[in-house]
Amino acid sequence: MNRTLAACLLLMASGCATEVQRIPVQPECTVPPQPALPTITRDELAVLPDDVYWRLERREKRLTDWALEMRAALQGLCSGVPGG
């Protein structure tokens, strides 16, 4: 009985199947501009202990490197998209 029911359901479902039509979608691809960052003076940093200063420096360098890498990746992706 289960096989018969499964076969009937399969035949009914296949009769409803339609052709799949693929429509290409081209997203808008723009590289956002780099934001203006606030300026920090040497005097403002002078109050930090050395270990904190160097941790902050490493953090800023990693963040900058990551942002530049993501920007380059996005530029590479957008170069293959019309209008990008």
Distances (CA, A) of 68 to 30, 78, 83: 15, 15, 22
Tokens of 15: 């009769």
What pTM, to 2 d.p., does this model score?
Answer: 0.56
Choice among 5-19, 26-40, 50-64 with the minimum mean pLDDT: 5-19
Q: For the beta carbon of residue 69, count every other beta carbon within 10 angstroms.
A: 10
Q: pLDDT at residue 13 above 90?
A: no
* Cα angle 51-57-59, degrees, rounded to a multiple of 5: 100
d(CA 81, CA 16): 36
